[in-house]
Each structure stands twice: as C-alpha cells, then as structure tokens.
C-alpha cells in the first residue's frame, strides 16, 4: 500500500484515501523550483570590516562532472537561481556522489564564510531532537528544496507544534505520531501549513506513514534509534588508512556515531594519538591496525538505542581508566526487565585529570555522566542507580573532610536524587 519512494504512489493522492487530494500543490515541482518571495526572514550576507570576497580554488572536474556542471548551470540560469557575473571573486565548484549514483553540486564557501558576520540563529541538537520521538510508531519525512529551507522561516511556520509531533532541521521535516489515525491528521496539518505559506516539497524524496525511517543519518523506529546500515557498510569496507588525511576522514565519519559505541574514546585512542603532533606522514602501527579493526567491529555490533522513558527508572553505569572515562545510560524493558542502552558517553582525560587517583577518576566519571544526561536524571520520577566498580567512593557520604574539588562535586551531586 505505501511506498518509500514518494507521495505519488500513495492511495491518498490517487483516490483520496488519506484526504490529501486537495494538497497536491505542495508537491508541485514547478513551484518548488522557483525562488521564494521576499519575506520577513530574509538574511543579508554582511562582510567583516576591511575584508573583501576571496578568489576561490578551482577544482579539476572529470568529464562526467564537467557535463553535470554545464547542465546544472543551464538549469539554474533558466529558473533564475543564478545569474551571469563578471565579479573577480568566486568560490570553488565541485560534486559529491548521491546515494542513487548521481552527482550533487557543492560550492566551497569556506573563504566567504570566514569573513562573513555570523548570523546567530540557533540549531537544535540532533540527539535531543531524536529523543522527542519516544512513543512514536508512525513517521513521515518531507524534504524541502534547499532554497525554501531557511530555519527561521520553517520554525516560525511550525512554532506551536515543534517538539510535539514535528521536528524541522534545515530542509528535513519529520512528522511523528503514536497511531495511524493521529498520524494522518498530523501530516495533513503540516501539508496544509506548507501550502498556506507557499512552501513546497520534493515528492521524490518524501516518505509517508512509515514504521521505520532514516532521518538525519539515523534509522528511527518505535523501539529506538539505530545506525544507518548503509553507513555501517561504508565503515566495514573502509581500507586501512595510508595517509594522515585518510585517517582524518575515517575518524570524522566514525565520530558521527560515537554515541552508539561503548567507551568510544578508548577504542579510537590509538588512532587519534597518531594525529597528536600533526604529522605530515602517517606512522601506521600494529596497535593502530588493531584499534582500526576493533572500531569497525563495534559498528557491526552496535545496539539500538532506546528512547529514554521518564516513566521508567534509569541505570547509570560508569567506568574510568588511566586515559579516559565512559558511561552508559540504560533502562529496563520487558518482563523480566532487561537492560537496554539509551546512550553512551566517553571522553579523554585532560593532562590534569590523568594525575587523579583511581577513586577520583571514578568520581569524575560519575560527575561527567550526570552533566551529560542532566536533562533526564535531575528531577527524574524514580531514583536512579549508579553502578561503579570502586568501593572507595562510599567514603564520600561519610567523610568529614573533602578536598576542594571533591566538595564541589559533592555539592553538584545533591541536585540529583
């Protein structure tokens, strides 16, 4: 009945089964290709004083890329997205591959961004946005053309329903609901608002009434959030790096999913240490190769992260080593209750923290974990359990003398049950 490829395969548009027939205009490719009209959220690009636009780098293009560039320029000129210019400043133009094998045009604006007065509009944190999906069973994803996706505009359009059953992030809109009947109502309301504000979506990239959907690089279901299998496959097939840039690329890619991997910082430690002195050449070692393979294995065994449920008690498990600290936030589900992770956290110790004794490192790991998940643990409905492997921490409650650092931490701990 439902298609993951686009709206036109849906019964609701062919026969009015979902009541969306009167909203076809929202999916008009012709209207979506037009430049949006001027609105109150127009943003000027202001340069810093005593600066001028730079001359960008020229990227060499392959024959298919050169042909794609010519087609892009012709189409963009025809619809008015760009216009001819003789200005001496420019930005580099290149392509990146699409999932379907096509080419996506990109412009290197780093030079211009470096001299631009920043527009301080806030973006929501992706993990925090995904936590809002707790209890949702049905999902619809709408994709706006990039020219229509100004965050200030989209947030204004959906301000009263953001975080309730809508998430908007740049050009992606996710509608989520607990039942199909409720979901149809929610999707219709979102489409109506888009039509009312003369906003349009790309039908070929929309997915309707799904129980599993990929959003912002994560696969979301009613159970929780998981890694995108296509991204996991990329990691498992990644060859051993032979240069500093290749290692940086791999770590940058892997770092996106760090919240799924227990003690991530400890796992990647042998790899990040190779970049510590900013070397020109990569000194690949057996230890680095072992860490590289271990990290790839972590991707294939990463669990589904459950959505935190405030109606269930939390379990906080912490650990510390001579180089880093880590923690797992979990909850019990089912009968008998089985622990399922909600999130992982880890970081490297600073030079000063590395001098702490074992007890203080364990104490530090508890403090860091409480700070990371404070929005869930402070004022929680139930007492939460902290699991640690160092009994010396018990003295914190009974000792009459604490050092200044321990005293500050003990005061912070009183914020939690």
Residue 165 has pLDDT above 70, yes or no: yes
Same-domain status, 386 and 309: yes
Same-domain status, 151 and 24: yes
Same-domain status, 153 and 12: yes
Backbone angles phi and psi of 315, in degrees to 5: -125, 125
* CATH number, domain containing residue 270: 3.30.70.270
Residue 21 lies in a domain: yes
- 159, two tokens: 């301000």
- What is the DSSP pairing of strand 207-210 with strand 172-177? unpaired
Residues of the chain by 3-state class (helix, strand, coil), percent to 5: 40, 20, 40
Query: What pLDDT does 2 receive?
Result: 36
Domain boundary among 272, 301, 330: 301
Cα 41 to chain centroid, rounded = 25
Residue 2 lies in a domain: no
Residue 364 lies in a domain: yes
Please give the model's pTM, rounded to 2 decimal places. 0.82
- State how many domains the chain has: 4
Query: What pLDDT does 41 receive?
Result: 75
Q: For residue 367, what are the domain limits?
A: 305-413
84-114: buried (b, 16+ CB within 10 Å) or exposed (e) per residue?
eeeeeebbebbbeeeeeeebeeeeeeebbee
Same-domain status, 22 and 134: yes
Percent of the chain with pLDDT over 70: 92
Domain boundary among 256, 281, 301: 301
Same-domain status, 211 and 288: no
- Beta carbons within 8 Å of 385's beta carbon, 6+ residues apart: 313, 314, 315, 316
pLDDT digits (tens, 9 = 90+) for 75-114: 889 888 889 988 888 899 999 988 778 898 999 999 999 9
Give me the helix-helix angle, 286-301 and 229-236, nearest 10°: 160
Query: What pLDDT does 14 receive?
Result: 40
Same-domain status, 216 and 135: yes
Residue 108 lies in a domain: yes
- 136, two tokens: 């949702």
Cis status, amide bond into 336, omega within 30 of 0: yes
Same-domain status, 249 and 294: yes
Same-domain status, 24 and 166: yes
pLDDT digits (tens, 9 = 90+) for 226-238: 999 999 999 999 9
CB 166 within 8 A of CB 133: no
Residue 372 has pLDDT above 60, yes or no: yes
Residue 101 lies in a domain: yes
* CATH number, domain containing residue 53: 3.10.10.10
Q: How confident is the model at residue 48 (pLDDT cuts 50, 70, 90)?
A: very high
Q: How confident is the model at residue 10 (pLDDT cuts 50, 70, 90)?
A: very low
* CATH number, domain containing residue 387: 3.10.20.370
Q: Among 333, 334, 337, 388, which residue's Cα sits nearest to residue 360?
A: 388
Domain boundary among 195, 222, 249: 222
Same-domain status, 111 and 132: no
Residue 287 lies in a domain: yes
Q: How confident is the model at residue 20 (pLDDT cuts 50, 70, 90)?
A: confident
Same-domain status, 192 and 114: no
Same-domain status, 62 and 145: no
Residue 1 lies in a domain: no
Same-domain status, 165 and 138: yes
């Amino acid at each position: 009945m439902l298609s993951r490829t686009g709206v036109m395969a849906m019964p609701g548009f062919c026969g009015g089964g979902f009541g969306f027939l009167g909203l076809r205009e929202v999916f008009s490719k012709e209207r979506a290709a037009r430049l949006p009209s001027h609105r109150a959220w127009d943003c000027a690009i202001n340069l810093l004083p005593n600066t001028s636009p730079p001359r960008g780098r020229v990227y060499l293009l392959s024959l298919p890329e050169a042909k794609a560039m010519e087609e892009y320029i012709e189409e963009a000129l025809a619809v008015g997205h760009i216009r001819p210019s003789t200005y001496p400043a420019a930005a580099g133009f290149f392509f990146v591959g699409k999932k379907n094998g096509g080419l996506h045009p990109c412009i290197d604006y780093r030079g211009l961004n470096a001299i631009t007065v920043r527009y301080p509009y806030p973006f929501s944190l992706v993990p925090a946005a995904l936590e809002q999906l707790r209890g949702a069973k049905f999902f619809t994803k709408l994709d706006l053309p990039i020219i229509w996706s100004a965050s200030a505009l989209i947030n204004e359009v959906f301000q009263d329903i953001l975080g309730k059953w809508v998430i908007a992030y740049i050009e992606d809109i996710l509608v989520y609901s607990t039942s199909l009947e409720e979901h149809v109502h929610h999707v219709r309301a979102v489409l109506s608002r888009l039509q009312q504000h003369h906003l349009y979506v790309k039908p070929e990239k929309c997915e309707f009434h799904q129980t599993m959907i990929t959003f912002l690089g994560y696969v979301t279901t009613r159970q929780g959030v998981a890694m995108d299998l296509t991204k996991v496959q990329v990691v498992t097939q990644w060859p051993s790096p032979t240069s500093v840039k290749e290692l940086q690329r791999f770590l940058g890619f892997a770092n996106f999913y760090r919240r799924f991997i227990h003690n991530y910082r400890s796992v990647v430690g042998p790899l990040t240490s190779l970049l510590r002195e900013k070397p020109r050449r990569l000194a690949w070692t057996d230890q680095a190769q072992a860490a590289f393979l271990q990290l790839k294995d972590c991707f294939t065994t990463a669990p589904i992260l459950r959505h935190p449920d405030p109606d269930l008690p939390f379990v906080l498990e912490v650990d510390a080593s001579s180089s880093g600290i880590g923690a797992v936030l979990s909850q019990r589900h089912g009968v008998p209750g089985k622990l399922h992770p909600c999130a992982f956290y880890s970081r490297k110790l600073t030079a000063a923290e590395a001098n702490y004794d074992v007890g203080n490192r364990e104490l530090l790991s508890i403090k860091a974990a409480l700070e990371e998940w404070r929005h869930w643990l402070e004022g929680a409905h139930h007492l939460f359990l902290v699991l640690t492997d160092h009994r010396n921490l018990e003295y914190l409650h009974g000792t009459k003398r604490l050092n200044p650092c321990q005293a500050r931490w003990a005061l912070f701990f009183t914020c939690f049950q």
